[in-house]
Structure 1
Amino acid sequence: MSYQALYRVWRPQRFDEVIGQTLITQTLKNAIKTKQISHAYLFAGPRGTGKTSMAKIFAKAVNCQFQKDGEPCNECETCKAITKGTLNDVIEIDAASNNGVEEIRDIRDKVKYAPTEADYKVYIIDEVHMLSTGAFNALLKTLEEPPANVIFILATTEPHKIPATIISRTQRFDFKQIQAKDSLERMAHILKEKDLKYDEEALKVIAKASEGGMRDALSILDQVISFGDDTVTLDNALLVTGAVRKQLLVKYLIQVMQQDTQAALLTVHDILADGKDPERFTEDLVNLTRDLLLYQQSPELVTQIEMDQVDSDFKKLASEATPQQLYTIIDDLNDIQQQMRFTTHEDVYLEVLTVRLAGPQKAAAPAQTQAPADSATIERLQHEISNLKQTVESLQQTAATATPAKLQTVKTTPKPKRTKVNLSQVYPILGAATRQDLSALQEIWPDLMNILSIPQRSIMGVSKPVAASPKGAIIAFDYAFLQQRANGDQELIDALENGLDRLMHKVPKLEFVPADQWPQIRKDYLQQHQVAAREDDSEETQEVHTASSAEPVKSEANDDPVVSKAKQLFGDDVIDVKSD
């Protein structure tokens, strides 16, 4: 049999073998033992934290005839078939490559058929956030009315992209990043089972480089084993991960804080000569500086995070460095990291970083040599201040004798610049607007807001629909800057249109206006409509108006085309007719 990667060979086959997710495993085991199995689950969390493995274990446990305490036996034919991926009743789908409506409709058509071999038919949809809007709508129908013997398990690394209507119909479990110590214990167990020699310090480097993903940790370990010919050493782990020895990082920071620029530059050149990644070097420096800040406040916390990798040099540096120095180093490192993303000469940026970190203290040291020049400067400034005071007094006397009209002219400030509104798009919507369309939009508006993501909801939270037609709608914003931001956010507009399509089964064109300009826009439109209506009146219509002039003023006002149009647009309850 061909070689298999470690993360495939050592994939968990029981709930107790899943690393770092005790809360989730215990909940699922209890649900299986008590027969309280839901029809749909959502597994969300970072990559490599066990979402797909947990889904397969759950599929085995609910279908295993010999399960004990919620755990699958892994010995029966059903368990073996699910482990190999050959059981027809457990269907695993990659939503990244099967994200269309047709694929989900095919599931919807086949889900009503009973399982052929197992008790439950289990659908595992990985990366479910990649489904299209139409596919989500098709899946929603199935989740609303699922058959009794079907279970859906949705896995995703980006749950915020899944519609709220889907999430509300599932039991959600949030997988957390795996602690470095848990990854360390798992790797040590695997190496002992394989009877391979290893350096514990090397496993600590790999555990930190994996950034909370067990699969990433095992992949790096696989590389180190191959590179070291079935031995795991610290040097090999540093080479494979591109990390820098902590002693070198501490040495570099000591040289920088002692303003020894030449020695710090030599240290950087030695690190780069060993083939270390410059971006990884800056990232390790940020983590070390953070650890120094934390150690000054809570030594026990840093000892736990660093897995007892705290030596005497680190402790000495933490006692000598001031928080302000560490803040400055972190700020400079962040600036360099942003600039290094857009260059191919990363070593130059590291040299500039070194000179910058060591330079400011040197420039600030000589202060007393400038004393004579500072005294002369102070005398000159005092003389200028005296002249300015005299000028201010003369201006105040002149202002006291000025006329109120002149003062008012001086105090007048220019009017704030108004946001430009595209009236050519707004007026056609007003021309076809009805009260019924506005009421329908206002009714589903809260549900539409709930569909949006939190950042999108924060923009639209100060808006409301003020007019609507069958093909368009006008949305007024309390703040003009949010209206401008919404106009330029195509992702927000797409989310609104998708939500309207789902809730109203149509996609009206949206126009955004500032709320403070909306009354004037409405007034201008009604005035223009009034002029057009009067020009179109025929002589016969004018005679009818003349003949009915004896009727009350209120009736005459109600026959006015402007009033009629206003009632059509905004409803009788908000129209107050006043006679001039």
Structure 2
Amino acid sequence: MSYQALYRVWRPQRFDDVIGQETMTQTLKNAIMTQQTSHAYLFTGPRGTGKTSAAKIFAKAINCHHQKDGEPCNQCATCQAITMGTLNDVIEIDAASNNGVEEIRDIRDKAKYAPTQADYKIYIIDEVHMLSTGAFNALLKTLEEPPANVVFILATTEVHKVPATIISRTQRFNFRRITAADLFKRMAYILDQKEMTYDPAALKVIAKAAEGGMRDALSILDQVLSFSDNHVTLENALDVTGSLTESMLADYVQTIQDSDTKKALALLQQILAEGKDAQRFIEDLIEYSRDLLLYQQAPELVLANEMDLLDEHFKTLSTQLPAERLYAVIDVLNETQQQLRFTNHPEIYLEVATVRLTQPQPVTTNQVSTPVATVASTDSAEVSALQKELAQLQATVAQLTANEPAAPVQPKAKPAKKISKKINRQAIYPVLADATRANLEQLKEVWPDLLNMLNVTKRAVMKVSEPVAASQGGVVVAFNYAILFERANNDQELLTTLESGLNRLTGNPFKVVLVPHDSWPDIRQEYLQNHDVTGDGESTPAEAGQAPAEPQTAEVVQKAQDLFGEAVVVQPD
């Protein structure tokens, strides 16, 4: 028999063999044991995390007459036929090559017939997001009125491309990336079963390079085994993956700390001369800088993820490099990573990035008088209080300059918001003019899918935001932290990505406007007070100094509820 790849030989045959997806597999087993299975499932998640394998195991378990605790026996004729792919009642379809209307109509017509050998007819549609619009519409009718004894399992790596009408008619299971520790354990188990020798450090390098995919990890392991004559060594694992050793990464980052451009360029030439991949080099550097940043705040988290690969040099660098410097390093590396996608000369961009990273940083008064470790560990609440005090002093000076004599400053007066001048009210008010609660709920429903479309850096910035008002053509997004609001507001690429993403998800063009969360209530109140909410273009009695009439007040309250929802509107007594 010809040689089979490791990921095919060691493909999971039971739910308990699916690594890193315990929540999903336990839920499926419970549904089978209690006979509460659905007619349609949607398995989403990154590649190589077990979606298709889980679908085939489900097909065996639901049709197995000897299943125990929701697991298939893998011994009966039905289980073995499904494993071999010879059972006619389990149909696996690749939507990438069968994405037309006619193919889906053929499925719909054949689904009406009862299964011939098994109890249930199972359709597994892989990469379902590749279906055309017409094919999705044809599939929708079958999902709305499914025939008896038919189960559809849809698998996709890009769930944001699947119409909401399809998603709402399925039970959705989100498969997550497999941790490096779980990948390491699985590879070690396989090599032990095959009685092959390995260097544990080599498996850790492969686990990190796989980026959460079991299939990728086993494919790389297969390649290393072929490269190293059935013995897994660290050197061969580094050569196959194009990764760098921890010591080499530490030496490069040390040149950044020392601002030693000449040594950094020499080290870069050495890395490229060894044939290391430019993209992998940048990715390793970003991950190493991220680990340095996290180690300053949560050492135990980094130690768990890195599986004891950290050395003393790493720990020393974590105390030498302040968080602000690491932010700048990650920004430069991320920018370089984008540039490498569109060039045939990556070494040029790497050299430019190296020069930028090793340029001496301007030293402020605080940096001269305060140790770096102390600056890195400054309490964020104290910094925030100092910023508010500074904003209050700036507001007082502006008031004294504008008005002579100035009104006395009350000690407990509410400090002016430092970022209020950057809030684009001219863009916010048109959104509020047409905003409705229904539009806001629609935006909140697709917001998680929008965040999943962003890269890791931009997703981290947007994690602390949420839509607070929406119309047919615009959305107001509030940020919990002022510093992240400023960063996002100045990132035109991020705003463009958000607007294009919303257009893809909803089919409507959206203008995205950002506000700080603590400024949002004031902006909302200003809009209600300064704009004609009654629709007649005249000022309300309250603006004229008169007591408002009850009908008009009711209209104002109704307008506010339409804009912001009943939960956040308090009616006047």
Query: Could you say which TM-score interval applies, normalised by the shorter chain?
Result: 0.5 to 0.7
The residue number in structure 1 matching 2:175 is: 175
Deviation of the 1:446 alpha carbon? 11
The residue number in structure 2 matching 1:42 is: 42
Contact 1:46–1:177 (Cα < 8 Å) also in 2:
yes
Contact 1:32–1:61 (Cα < 8 Å) also in 2:
yes
Q: Return closer, same or farther for 1:215/1:127 CA change in 2, 3 Å cut-off.
A: same
* Number of residue equivalences: 421
CA distance in 1, matches of 2:474, 2:355: 53
Q: Give the stretch that moved more between structures: 345-354 or 298-307.
A: 345-354
Contact 2:161–2:505 (Cα < 8 Å) also in 1:
no
Counterpart amino acid of residue 247 in structure 1:
S
The residue number in structure 1 matching 2:297 is: 297
In the TM superposition, what whole-angstrom CA distance separates every residue of 1:82-119 from its partner, at most 9, and x where no partner exists?
00100000000111111111111111111111111111
The residue number in structure 1 matching 2:227 is: 227
The residue number in structure 1 matching 2:8 is: 8
Q: Give the stretch that moved more between structures: 138-147 or 78-87.
A: 138-147
Alignment of 1:94-173 (within 5 A): 94-173=94-173
CA distance in 2, matches of 1:123, 1:34: 22
CA distance in 1, matches of 2:295, 2:142: 53
Equivalent position SS for 1:92: strand
Q: Return closer, same or farther for 1:227/1:344 CA change in 2, 3 Å cut-off.
A: same
CA distance in 1, matches of 2:153, 2:204: 34
Equivalent position SS for 2:153: strand
Contact 2:38–2:171 (Cα < 8 Å) also in 1:
yes
Bigger CA radius of gyration: 1
Equivalent position SS for 1:119: coil
1:275 maps onto 2:275 in alignment:
yes
CA distance in 2, matches of 1:246, 1:490: 37
The residue number in structure 2 matching 1:339 is: 339
Deviation of the 1:181 alpha carbon? 0.3
Deviation of the 1:162 alpha carbon? 1.5
In the TM superposition, what whole-angstrom CA distance separates every residue of 1:332-391 from its partner, at most 9, and x where no partner exists?
2222222222222222222222222222249999xxxxxxxxxxxxxxxxxxxxxxxxxx
Equivalent position SS for 2:116: coil
Counterpart amino acid of residue 290 in structure 1:
R
The residue number in structure 1 matching 2:287 is: 287
Deviation of the 1:330 alpha carbon? 1.6
Structure 2: 5+ residue stretches without partners: 366-425, 428-435, 452-465, 477-495, 509-573
Alignment of 1:444-463 (within 5 A): 462-463=470-471
1:31 maps onto 2:51 in alignment:
no
TM-score, normalised on structure 2? 0.66
Q: Return closer, same or farther for 1:362/1:268 CA change in 2, 3 Å cut-off.
A: farther
Q: Return closer, same or farther for 1:145/1:293 CA change in 2, 3 Å cut-off.
A: same
Q: Return closer, same or farther for 1:284/1:456 CA change in 2, 3 Å cut-off.
A: closer
The residue number in structure 1 matching 2:73 is: 73
Contact 1:63–1:119 (Cα < 8 Å) also in 2:
yes
The residue number in structure 2 matching 1:244 is: 244
Deviation of the 1:148 alpha carbon? 2.0
The residue number in structure 2 matching 1:208 is: 208
Q: Give the stretch that moved more between structures: 159-168 or 339-348.
A: 339-348
1:20 maps onto 2:54 in alignment:
no
Q: Return closer, same or farther for 1:284/1:109 CA change in 2, 3 Å cut-off.
A: same
CA distance in 2, matches of 1:42, 1:361: 50
Deviation of the 1:293 alpha carbon? 1.1
In the TM superposition, what whole-angstrom CA distance separates every residue of 1:399-435 from its partner, at most 9, and x where no partner exists?
xxxxxxxxxxxxxxxxxx99xxxxxxxxxxxxxxxxx
CA distance in 1, matches of 2:234, 2:159: 37
Q: Return closer, same or farther for 1:462/1:324 CA change in 2, 3 Å cut-off.
A: closer
Structure 1: 5+ residue stretches without partners: 366-416, 419-441, 465-474, 479-484, 498-580
Counterpart amino acid of residue 360 in structure 1:
P
1:357 maps onto 2:362 in alignment:
no
Deviation of the 1:15 alpha carbon? 0.6
CA distance in 1, matches of 2:184, 2:196: 15
Deviation of the 1:220 alpha carbon? 0.5
In the TM superposition, what whole-angstrom CA distance separates every residue of 1:427-460 from its partner, at most 9, and x where no partner exists?
xxxxxxxxxxxxxxx9x9999989988789999x
Equivalent position SS for 1:360: coil
In the TM superposition, what whole-angstrom CA distance separates every residue of 1:163-204 from its partner, at most 9, and x where no partner exists?
222112111111010000000000000101111110000000
In the TM superposition, what whole-angstrom CA distance separates every residue of 1:39-82 from its partner, at most 9, and x where no partner exists?
11111111100000000000000111111111111111111110
Q: Return closer, same or farther for 1:462/1:264 CA change in 2, 3 Å cut-off.
A: closer
TM-score, normalised on structure 1? 0.65
The residue number in structure 2 matching 1:394 is: none
CA distance in 2, matches of 1:455, 1:147: 31
CA distance in 1, matches of 2:251, 2:178: 30
Contact 1:456–1:492 (Cα < 8 Å) also in 2:
no
Contact 2:440–2:470 (Cα < 8 Å) also in 1:
no
1:263 maps onto 2:263 in alignment:
yes
CA distance in 2, matches of 1:165, 1:255: 54
Sequence identity (%): 64
CA distance in 2, matches of 1:355, 1:136: 51
Q: Return closer, same or farther for 1:447/1:275 CA change in 2, 3 Å cut-off.
A: closer
CA distance in 1, matches of 2:474, 2:133: 27
Alignment of 1:517-532 (within 5 A): none
The residue number in structure 1 matching 2:193 is: 193
Contact 2:39–2:151 (Cα < 8 Å) also in 1:
yes
Q: Specify which structure has the higher proportion of helix.
A: 1
CA distance in 1, matches of 2:231, 2:158: 37
The residue number in structure 2 matching 1:505 is: none
Contact 2:440–2:471 (Cα < 8 Å) also in 1:
no
Counterpart amino acid of residue 243 in structure 2:
A
CA distance in 2, matches of 1:118, 1:327: 58
The residue number in structure 2 matching 1:411 is: none
In the TM superposition, what whole-angstrom CA distance separates every residue of 1:500-534 from its partner, at most 9, and x where no partner exists?
xxxxxxxxxxxxxxxxxxxxxxxxxxxxxxxxxxx
CA distance in 2, matches of 1:242, 1:265: 19
CA distance in 1, matches of 2:439, 2:157: 29
Contact 1:44–1:158 (Cα < 8 Å) also in 2:
yes
The residue number in structure 1 matching 2:561 is: none
Deviation of the 1:256 alpha carbon? 2.4
- RMSD across aligned positions (CA): 4.0
Q: Give the stretch that moved more between structures: 141-150 or 200-209.
A: 141-150
In the TM superposition, what whole-angstrom CA distance separates every residue of 1:455-495 from its partner, at most 9, and x where no partner exists?
89999x8556xxxxxxxxxx9999xxxxxx9xx97994996
